[in-house]
Chains A and B, each alone.
Chain A
Amino acid sequence: MILLDRVTKVYNRKSTALDRISLHVEPKEFVIVVGQSGAGKTTLLRLLTREEKPTSGKIIIGGVDYDKLKDRDIPLLRRKIGVVFQDFKLLPNKTVFENVAFALEIVGMGNREIRHTVPRVLDIVNLKGKESNMPSELSGGERQRVAIARAIVRQPKILIADEPTGNLDPKHAWDVIRVLEKINRYGTTVLLTTHNQEIVNKLKRRVVTIEGGRVASDRANSEYTLS
Chain B
Amino acid sequence: MMKRFNTFRRIVRTGMLNFVRNAWLAIAAIAVMTVTLTIILFSVVANATFNNTIQQINDKINISVYLSDSVTVKQRNDLMDELRRLPNVRKVDYVSKSDALERYRADNANRQSLLQAISEAGNPLPASISIDPVDPSRIQDIKAFLDQPDNKALQDPQAGTSYSGERKAAIDKITHATSVLQRIGVAAVLLFAVISVLIIFNTIQMAIFNRRDELTIMRLLGATTWYIRGPFVVESVMYGVIAAVVSVGFIYGVFVTASSALQATSLGLLDIAYSSQYFRDNFFMLLTAQLFVGIVIGALSSTVATRRYLKFRTSK
Contact = CB atoms under 8 A, between A and B. Distances in A.
Contact of A106 (B2, B221, B315, B316): B221
B42 interface: no
A105 B222 contact: no
B256 to A, nearest CB: 45
A3 to B, nearest CB: 19
A14 B81 CA distance: 95
A106 B218 contact: yes
A76 B214 contact: no
A108 B222 contact: no
B108 interface: no
Contacts of B6: 105, 108-111
B175 to A, nearest CB: 54
Given A105-B10, A106-B227, A110-B6, A71 B312 contact: yes
Chain A interface size range: 20 to 34
Interface string B293-316: 000000000000000000010111
B3 A109 contact: yes
Nearest to B311: A71
Interface string A38-59: 0000000000011111010000
B312 A106 contact: no
A71 B314 contact: yes
B220 interface: yes
Nearest to A88: B217
Contacts of B2: 108, 110
A224 B225 CA distance: 41
Contacts of B227: 106
Contacts of B288: none
Contacts of B214: 91
A91 B314 contact: no
Nearest to A55: B316
A108 B221 contact: no
Contacts of B4: 108
Nearest to B316: A53
Interface string A51-81: 1110100000000000000011011111100
Interface in B215-230: 216-225, 227
Contacts of B7: 108
A205 B148 CA distance: 113
Nearest to A150: B221
Nearest to A76: B222
A82 to B, nearest CB: 9
B1 to A, nearest CB: 10
- Identify which of A51, A76, A83, A106 gathers the most chain B CB atoms within 10 Å of its CB: A106
A107 B222 contact: yes
A107 B222 CA distance: 8
Contact of B220 (A53, A89, A110): A89
Nearest to A51: B314
Given A105-B10, A108-B4, A91 B220 contact: no
Nearest to A89: B217
Given A83-B220, A89-B217, A107 B314 contact: no
Interface in B197-231: 213-214, 216-225, 227
B310 to A, nearest CB: 11
A91 B217 contact: yes
A105 B10 CA distance: 8
Nearest to A102: B221
21 contacts: A49-B220, A55-B316, A72-B225, A72-B312, A75-B222, A75-B224, A75-B225, A77-B222, A78-B219, A78-B221, A79-B221, A89-B216, A91-B214, A102-B218, A102-B221, A105-B10, A107-B3, A107-B222, A108-B2, A108-B3, A111-B6
Given A74-B314, A78-B220, A102-B221, 13 more contacts: A50-B314, A53-B314, A53-B315, A55-B316, A71-B314, A74-B312, A75-B222, A75-B224, A79-B222, A105-B6, A108-B7, A110-B2, A110-B6
Interface of B: 2-4, 6-7, 10, 213-214, 216-225, 227, 312, 314-316
Interface of A: 49-53, 55, 71-72, 74-79, 83, 89-91, 102-103, 105-111, 150
7 tightest Cβ-Cβ pairs between the two chains A and B: A108-B3, A78-B222, A79-B222, A108-B7, A106-B223, A75-B222, A75-B224
